[in-house]
Amino acid sequence: MATQEIQEYPARRPGGHVSFNISDAAVNAVRRTAGMLWRHKLLIGVTMLLGTGAAVGIAFQLTPLYTAETLVMLEHRKTSVTKFEEVLGGLGADMSVMQSEVAVLKSPTFAEKIVDRLNLVNDPEFNADLRPPPNPLLVYLNPRNWIPDSWRDTLQGNRPVFELTEEEKAKNRRTSVVNAVLDNLNVRPQGRSYVLSVTFDSEDPRKASTVVNTIAQMYLVDQLDEKFKATKRATQWLEERIAEVRKEAREAGDAAEAFRARTGLTASGEARTISTQQLAELNTNYVLARTQREAAEAKQREVTNLTRNQRSVGTIGDVLGNGLIQSLRRQEVELQRQMADANQRYGGKHPAIQTLQSQLRDLQGQMRMEVDKIVQGLNNEVELARGREKSLKASLDELQGKVDEQQKSTVTLRTLERDAETSQTMYETLLTRFQEVTSQNDIQQPDARVVSQAAIPLLPSQPNKKLIVILALIASGAVGVLLAMLVEYFERGFRSPHQFELATGVRGLGIVPMIGRWGRLRGSPAEYVIDRPLSSYTEALQSLRTTLLLANPDGRQRVLLFTSSVPDEGKSSVAGGFARICANAGQRVVIVDCDLRRKGLHRMLGLENRSGLYEVLSGQAAVQDVLQTDPRTGLHVISAGHGSALPQDMLGSARMHQLISRLALEYDRVILDSPPVLAVSESKLLAALADQTVFIVRWGKTKRETAMAGLKELVEAGADVVGVLFSQVDTRRHAQYEFPDSGRYHGYRRYYVN
């Protein structure tokens, strides 16, 4: 960029710690930015003026649009007229429902109803085919019209591959009208409320109000229409379903009755039949018979076990409760007691004892006979119990099979009865629902209501000219600043000797201000230094003279070369003005025009070019013959002269060396006006002859790469470059930069008389 930031070295605190002043850096950054904007204020101002002017022109060419607004609120509080569920449920109040209703209002289908209702197809505002031809100037200024239709259709892919019929064309026109209506329609929820804001833009305020009010009314009608359609569909479906269910209920009832009659089940449909009752009684008898048989078998086993043990035969009476056995048992006990007494009284062989023993044997035999009878009776009783149990078991199994079959029939009957009951219940439910839906047709209400009708707008809503102008002003200002930044970036010239010194290390000798327009009209810069001795231009050359004197206190370095990288950098003007100032100060000064190609120094000093350096170097004239004296300052001048030989051969010759050496002995200052370094090679030859070289750079114009390349050529040629001098400096703009020498001359212009 043209402005290079000056290196700011951080201050050191005592102890070696480095501290940074962040606030100063920020202030410097703001100052540099403000300076950049101020330098390009003209560019920014013109950009803002053009951009804002174009926006104002466009804003006043736009057709004003009027916006009408109506408010529609979705009903979130439902009035329950009936207790049965509605066929078409009411709307909720969440955001998804709100957005769904917005989509309904913005749908093409709904817009078609509005178009048909208001006959907008025949309205030129929405039908482009009915509009008058536009202004030819506006048509020409539209960039889209500069491209042929065939190219535009090809690029956009809109070129039809077949011809449309009249019906299709009419449908397309209708679609375009619908799209135009949707483009002017805007629907949005109002915050977190249940209110929808419906707005419509139109060129006619009355039309905008009419359309938006029609949209609100049609929205309510559309809701009712959808509910009636839903009710009608539900009624039709219920009628068909009722007929089917009525038939199914009748068939299910007939099937249950027929099965009940066929199976002989009770009319109540329960499982209690005659066979079931018989089965219960027979099962009770069977259980009783089995119990009796088990008891008889138990007695039989016990008696059989007792009979096997002769000692236990007497206990059979106790077991069975037989009175005879018990009596015989008492007699046996009495005989045994008598035998025991007889044994004690008479001994074992006594006839009485034998008689008692015989009686005891007879008694025991009688007991065994009775026991055998009892056992035989028990056996007969067991066999009888077993036969009865077997008979009851057979009857029970037979009856159980019959009951099982009847039970299966009962299950089937219950299934048939449930089917018949379900069909009947469904039939009654559908019939009730049909009556409710039929009665619901008379109480349908929309789920929204119009809160506010749209009034006729009195002022246009678009275009907002004030906003357009403000936005255009801001945008054009931003573009202007961007352009200023681009200009700063692409300005490749140096803006300060300090900047050049940082880039190359070559000392800066100062700046030479640009002479004003009126000053240039009065004469050359060399004349200006005499006519305006107190001007800033003259002061800059005086400052250069002082700097060079301080750099050469002993006065040994007398030969001074002025050169630059490229032409038109002002080196001849600076050299001529500097020579006159030195001569006017009483020094013996001679200036030599070493540019044998352009030969312009004599004209600048108001002298002639009869003979000069060429003639001296070619041997056609002596030095004293070509010397001219400036009448105003006494400056001696050697012009370029006339000749066509190669300049580099002439300036690099031994005679040139002798000439410079002779002049250095005779004058206090020998000033050489050299051609540009990068244009021709003579400057490098002259740089080797000069004691000091002043490198001229045009402020802000010479590219940095060019200036540095020219300086490199001089250094490589052995020149002693004493410093760089910036010429043609715009001091006003130079003061706007943040360099150490910024503001020089311009900041103190009251000291000068330009």
Over pLDDT 90: what percentage of the chain?
14
Same domain, 357 and 401: yes
Q: Is 560 a residue whose pLDDT tops 80?
A: yes
**Cβ–Cβ < 8 Å for 71, 197:** yes
Same domain, 585 and 727: yes
Same domain, 656 and 726: yes
Q: pLDDT tens digits for 510-524?
A: 888 888 666 555 667
Q: pLDDT tens digits for 683-700?
A: 889 998 999 999 999 988
Same domain, 109 and 44: no
Same domain, 113 and 214: yes
Confidence class for position 140, pLDDT limits 50, 70, 90: low
Which of 519, 535, 534, 537 lies closest to 574, judged by CA?
Answer: 537
pLDDT on residue 341:
79
48 burial level (CB within 10 Å; 0-12, 13-18, 19+): buried
Q: Is 753 a residue whose pLDDT tops 80?
A: no
Q: Is 4 a residue whose pLDDT tops 60?
A: no
In a domain, 186, yes or no: yes
| Residue 442: half-sphere exposure toward Cβ, Cα within 13 Å | 5
Confidence class for position 589, pLDDT limits 50, 70, 90: very high
pLDDT on residue 162:
60
Rounded to an integer, the average pLDDT of 386-404 is 77
In a domain, 387, yes or no: yes
In a domain, 236, yes or no: no
In a domain, 235, yes or no: no
CA distance 462 to 64: 5
Q: Is 269 a residue whose pLDDT tops 60?
A: no
pTM given for the model: 0.50
Rounded to an integer, the average pLDDT of 628-656 is 87
pLDDT on residue 460:
83
CA distance 407 to 626: 155
Rounded to an integer, the average pLDDT of 710-722 is 91
Q: Is 265 a residue whose pLDDT tops 70?
A: no
Confidence class for position 673, pLDDT limits 50, 70, 90: very high
Same domain, 334 and 345: yes
pLDDT on residue 18:
41
In a domain, 430, yes or no: yes
How many separate domains does the chain show? 4
Same domain, 44 and 86: no
Residues contacting residue 108 through CB under 8 Å, at least 6 positions apart? 175, 178, 179, 182
CA distance 527 to 539: 14
In a domain, 223, yes or no: yes
What's the sign of the alpha-carbon dihedral 725, 731, 736, 738? Answer: positive
Q: pLDDT tens digits for 433-480?
A: 767 666 655 555 666 778 888 888 888 887 778 888 889 899 999 998
pLDDT on residue 28:
66
Q: pLDDT tens digits for 78-134?
A: 544 444 444 444 455 567 778 888 888 888 988 888 888 888 888 888 887 787 766
pLDDT on residue 605:
87
Q: Is 249 a residue whose pLDDT tops 80?
A: no
Rounded to an integer, the average pLDDT of 380-393 is 82
Same domain, 472 and 496: no
Q: Is 754 helix (H, G, I), strand (E, B) or coil?
A: coil
In a domain, 289, yes or no: yes
Expressed as residue numbers, the domain containing 58 is 11-62+463-489
Same domain, 153 and 287: no
Confidence class for position 5, pLDDT limits 50, 70, 90: very low
Mean of all residue pLDDT scores within the chain:
78
Residue 168, both tokens: 């299709």
Same domain, 634 and 498: yes
Residues contacting residue 329 through CB under 8 Å, at least 6 positions apart? 314, 317, 318, 367
CATH assignment at residue 518? 3.40.50.300
Over pLDDT 70: what percentage of the chain?
78
Residue 233, both tokens: 């569909």
CA distance 534 to 543: 12
pLDDT on residue 744:
60
Residue 424, both tokens: 């009947």
CB atoms within 10 A of CB 261: 10
Question: 22-26, 172-176, 234-238, 315-319: which has the minimum mean pLDDT?
Answer: 315-319
In a domain, 457, yes or no: no
Same domain, 481 and 536: no
pLDDT on residue 144:
63
Select, from the ranges 88-92, 138-142, 392-396, the one with the highest average predicted confidence (pLDDT): 392-396
pLDDT on residue 580:
92
pLDDT on residue 667:
94
**Cβ–Cβ < 8 Å for 378, 300:** yes
pLDDT on residue 6:
32
pLDDT on residue 271:
43
Helices (DSSP H) in 142-204: which residue ranges?
Answer: 149-156, 166-184
Q: Which residue has the higher pLDDT, 93 or 286?
A: 286
What's the sign of the alpha-carbon dihedral 557, 563, 564, 568? Answer: positive
Same domain, 731 and 594: yes
CB atoms within 10 A of CB 373: 13
